Amino acid sequence: MSIQIETQVLVLGSGPGGYSAAFRCADLGINTILVERYPNLGGVCLNVGCIPSKALLHISKLIQTNSDLNEFNISKNITNIQLDINKIRLWKNDIIKKLSNNLNSIATAKRNIKIIYGFGTFINKHTLQVSCDKEIIKVIFDYAIIATGSHPTSLPFSPNDHRIWNSTDALELKFIPEKLLIIGSGAIGLEMSTVYHSLGSKVDLMEASDQIMPILDKDIINLFSKNLIKKSINCTVNTQVHAFNSKPNGIDVITTNKLDPNTKKTHRYDAVLIAIGRFPNSKELNLDGIGIQTNKNGFISVDKQMRTNISNIFAIGDIVGNPMLAHKSIHEGHIVSEVISGKKYYFDSTVIPGVIYSDPEIAWVGYTEKEAQTKNIKYASVTFPWNSLGKAITSNYTEGITKLIFDKNTHRIIGGSVIGLHASEIIGEIALAIEMGCDVEDITLTIHAHPTLYESIELAASIYNKSINT
C-alpha cells in the first residue's frame, strides 16, 4: 500500500537537531512532518547517548558521595552500598521513556507536527520515500532538513562477540565486567571509565595518540591523569590494538606501543568498549542519487545557512561533521528554521563549548593554549587553582583549575578550560564572555557570588589584570 502526503518542511531524524528544527518550524507557522526510523523520538542523544550516560554518571556521583561520607568519618550508619544493576537499568530507561514521551506530546499535541515512523530515502529533491511496517509513504516537500545523526565506529577486525561493545552496548548495562578495556579516550571513553569504575570494574584505557584528549592542554590532562591514577584506572597512550581473540573466559586483546612497535602484548578482559569516534548516517539516504555533495567520509557539505548544494535541502547535526555535539545541532536546527521562514540567519557563533562529564568534569571553549600556539596568536594564559577556592574546599573537591586565555594585544578573552566539579556549568560564563567580546576588565568588574566555583573565573581574570597593570 502506498500513500502520498505533501508538506512544506520535511525533517528527517528526530535527535536534538531534528526535533528542534521541527518545533521551530511549527512555531513559525510552517506545516512540518518529522520522519524517524526508530520507535522513539530523541535520536542518539536521548536514547543511547547524552541522557542515559548522564543518568549513569549521576549514580556514579552518588556512589562517590557515599565514599566521601566514609572518608570524613561523620556518620555511623554509612556502610558499603549494594547496587542492584537491574534497578539502575530500569531507572535509566524510565528517564528515557519519560523524555521521549514528552517530545512526542510537544510535537503532536502542542505543535500539530505529523510524525511518521519508518526509514526514509530520497527519490528526488522534493520527494522522500518512507518504508513503514505495512505501507510506503511518499512525502512531497518544499524543503527538507536532514538530521539523521551518526553511528559508532567499529574496528574492522572485531569478532561478533557480545562482550565487545560500542557506546550503545555500554549504556545498556548488560553486566558489570570485572576487567574492562576502553579503547579511545574521548568523551565517551572517559565518561564510561567513570561509570564502570564506580560500579566496580577494573578499568584500563588505551589511546592511540600521545595523550588522552589530544586537543586539550597538558596541564588540564595532567590533572585528570592524576585522578585516574588515584582511582587505579590504568591509561596507556601511543597504543595500537591489532586483534581480538574471543575466549570462553574473556577477550584477548593484542596491542603494540608506537615507541616499541615490534613488541606485541596480549591482555585479557571480560569486556571491551570501542570508543574511537563516529561516522555519519548518510549511506542509505540516496544522497548521491539526488546529487547532494558529501566528503569522502560521508559528511554532507553545507554553507553557513546549513544549506546543501541543492537549494531546498538543508543538513544539520552530526551528519555535517565535527564537532558532533547536541547543542551545536540544536543551534543549527534553529538557524535552518529561520532561513526557511525567509530570514537571513547564519551560523556565525564564535565558539562552541565542549564538555566531558567524567569525574572530574572537563570543559573548554574557544582557544586552548595549544591551539593559540599553533596559530601564532599572541596570548597570555592564567590559571586559578581550586585548592584556594572556598567552595571547592567545602565540597571536598580541590583538585581543579580554571584556566583563561587572553589576547595579549586587546586583552579580550579568547578561550578557557575548566577541570573540576560542575565544570560543565562553569564553562557557560566563559563562552558568553568570548561571544560578547569581553576584555579582562569586563570580567573582573562583574560581581560574582561568593563562595562559588564560578568565581574562579573572576579570580583568574584578576591575576591577569594585575599583571598588565603593574
Cite the annotated binding site by residue number. 54, 120, 148-150, 184-191, 207, 277, 318, 324-327
The per-residue DSSP string of 76-122 comes to SS-------HHHHHHHHHHHHHHHHHHHHHIIIIIT--EEEESEEEE
Terminal-residue alpha carbon distance, the chain: 79
Please give the annotated binding residues for FAD, written as ranges.
54, 120, 148-150, 318, 324-327
- In contact, 233 and 252? CB cutoff 8 Å: no
Bond preceding residue 323 cis, omega within 30 of 0: yes
- In contact, 86 and 251? CB cutoff 8 Å: no
By annotation, the residues acting in catalysis are: 450
The count of residues in the chain is 470
Q: Distances in Å between the alpha carbon of 151 and those of 44, 154, 254, 283, 369?
A: 8, 9, 25, 11, 31
Please give the annotated binding residues for NAD(+), written as ranges.
184-191, 207, 277
Instruction: Identify the three-state secondary structure at position 411.
Output: coil
Instruction: Report how far Cα 469 is from the mean position of its chain's Cα atoms.
Output: 39
Amino acid at 266: T
- In contact, 96 and 47? CB cutoff 8 Å: yes
Backbone φ/ψ region at 450: left (φ over 0), alpha (ψ -120 to 50), beta? beta
Residues with Cβ within 8 Å of residue 109, at least 6 apart in sequence: none
Instruction: Report how far Cα 128 is from the mean position of its chain's Cα atoms.
Output: 29
Closest CA to 396 of 374, 376, 421, 378: 421
**Counting beta carbons within 10 angstroms of the beta carbon of residue 94, is it exposed (0 to 12), middle (13 to 18) or buried (19 or more)?**
exposed
Closest CA to 50 of 111, 116, 99: 99
- In contact, 453 and 422? CB cutoff 8 Å: yes
